[in-house]
A = this chain, B = another copy of it.
Amino acid sequence: MSKLEDIVATAIENTAGAPERRRRAGGGRGGDRGKGRKGPATLRYRSILNTQEPSLLLSEEGLEAIHEASLAVLEQIGMDFMLKEARDRLAAAGADVVAGTERVRLDRGLVLDLVRQAPGPFTLHARNPERNVNIGGRNLAFAQVASAPYCSDKDNGRRTGTQEDYRNLIRLAQSFDVIHMTGGYPVEPTDLHASVRHLDCLSDLVKLTDKPFHAYSLGKERNLDALEIVRIGRGVSAEQLEAEPSLFTIINASSPLRYDAPMLQGIIEMSSRNQVVVITPFTLAGAMAPVTIAGALVQQNAEALAGIAFTQLVRPGAPVIYGGFTSNVDMKSGAPAFGTPEYMKAVMAGGQLARRYGLPYRTSNTCAANTLDAQSAYESMMSLWALVQGGGNFIMHAAGWMEGGLTASFEKFVMDVDMLQMVAEFLAPLDTSPEALAMDAIADVGPGGHYFGTAHTLSRYESAFYSPMLSDWRNFESWSLAGQPTTYDHANRVWKETLAGFEAPALDEAIVEELDAFVARRKLEGGVPTDF
């Protein structure tokens, strides 16, 4: 109790009077703190329901105008499908393949009939069933940053990634329950040869995490190796794997209006086996898409519908996600911009489009900042605002994304995790039970006085509020005595503490042996072609 009494004494002094009362003796704030921060993983974040009704950015008319325009694009202009097998399948389905070209025109009847065959919400299976992820509906799931060519941390700066960087970032992803999946290689491990890199990386994903993961579609062999590794990791038959989607791949259009061979091959390999395909046009307004957000959304929707339709042509009912990734470029420099007001609009409009087709919606937590300054926080928080209010389901790059995706930052990862946890706390329903309404406590205290010592407070104070990992709430004097640490400093401490305490999740020894044998055999066979 004495600790509490000290706190009460400080707190009474610190909170005397509203901040707007002029008589208030300024200066009072909490004394030294930082102790007792909530540790990393906590079960409460293993699944998150978005309790916010999706907010609407587009009017019904605006939504239909974009929908209609995108269908007109597919009918009148069409898209280039840069793989003969794909064009043949489309022609067989009745699409208009322009002879001697890669151009395919799709009429709205064909497109919408195929899109209608896509399932709504589905489950992405993990090797640990407690880590299965529900996709779609009101579910909100977060994947770690993916595909950065560089990584950075406060101590060692920005650099190309190595296997050790890659493994450390995967360990961080495993350490926080609010991260539901990895989303690809958080950083490219350039010290592994490209022909066998996927074998080591996918093997690490099985050993260092028990969460679902992603396979790159860069040639049929990589898809097949990934499918075998996830099957081994889960310890299931090929039949069960096909019945339970357990692997996902991001398919980007080569905007504007093209799908290239590796991406189409990836759809064929993954959808034919009932695995998850995330169709994501990357439509930068002013660069690879029209300079207007509405025009960029028309192109995004045309490309997305064409890709989604193709997955259902490959296998009706195969799990597929509508991905939106429309942002703008800085027209003064040509630099891509993220976490902007235009990005927010595109994210929310994209959610309306995805829901219009009854599909789960993929979007991203983005920022263009070069360091963990205020910009990195407001751009990411604007992204989170838009994707939460806009009904995002499957969130890529949710933690660690910097510089528009060029860098995976260890400190940004931790800050994003803290922000994601705060978002999850915001989405937790507010308790309005009689006990929570606290009529008895209000009567006990009455006018004047304070609530620090009441039974109502004592029974709840330790868990009443979210305790952030990074926010520094010490008063200016205590904070100054501590050397005026910034969020960047606190994040640096937290990822080091987290890695120091990391323990790999349990994995059956037989699975390890089978996995290692498979990887060894495939390496002997030379891995995969690197001429993609």
Contacts and interface: CB of A to CB of B under 8 A. Distances in A.
Interface stretch (A22-30, A85-93, A314-322): A22-30
A518 interface: no
Nearest to A411: B374
Contacts of A403: 29, 475-476
A383 B497 CA distance: 30
Contacts of A369: 471-472
Interface string A396-438: 1000000111110000000100010011011010111101111
A33 B447 contact: no
A325 B467 CA distance: 20
A328 B282 contact: no
Given A158-B476, A404-B29, A441-B295, A250 B449 contact: no
Nearest to A475: B335
A240 interface: no
19 contacts: A10-B333, A19-B405, A22-B188, A26-B406, A33-B330, A61-B432, A62-B430, A77-B443, A256-B447, A257-B442, A293-B430, A294-B433, A331-B461, A334-B452, A337-B465, A372-B374, A375-B470, A375-B472, A377-B381
B438 A294 contact: yes
Given A147-B22, A294-B432, A419 B32 contact: no
Contacts of A486: 371, 373-375
Contacts of A26: 148-150, 406
A451 interface: yes
Contacts of A450: 256, 287-288
A19 B282 contact: yes
Number of copies: 2
Contacts of A58: 430, 432
Interface string A239-252: 00000000000101
A164 interface: no
A340 interface: yes
A66 B415 contact: no
A509 interface: no
A457 to B, nearest CB: 4
Contacts of A442: 73, 77, 256-257, 290, 295, 298-299
Contact of A57 (B334, B430, B456): B430
Given A184-B20, A341-B425, A447-B80, A460 B291 contact: yes
Given A216-B22, A465-B328, A15 B334 contact: yes
A202 interface: no
Nearest to A294: B436
A368 B65 CA distance: 44
Contact of A7 (B52, B331, B467, B470): B331
B476 A73 contact: no
- Interface size on A, as a range, is 35 or more
A512 interface: no
A370 B24 CA distance: 19
Contact of A385 (B252, B334, B376, B385): B385
- Most chain B CB within a 10 A radius of its CB, from A15, A72, A425: A15
Contacts of A449: 256
A448 interface: yes
A42 interface: no
A280 to B, nearest CB: 7
Contacts of A447: 77-80, 103, 256-258
- Most chain B CB within a 10 A radius of its CB, from A250, A287, A465: A465
A110 interface: no
Interface stretch (A123-131, A230-238, A342-350, A498-506): A342-350
A83 interface: no
A53 interface: yes
B368 A451 contact: no
A374 B286 CA distance: 29
A382 interface: yes
A72 B437 CA distance: 11
A376 B331 CA distance: 28
Given A342-B466, A373-B486, A374-B372, A252 B52 contact: no
B36 A473 contact: no
B448 A298 contact: no
A47 interface: no
Contact of A487 (B345, B373, B479): B373
Contacts of A65: 432, 437
Nearest to A370: B479
A404 to B, nearest CB: 6
A255 interface: yes
Interface in A17-66: 17-24, 26-27, 29-33, 35-36, 52-53, 55-59, 61-62, 65-66
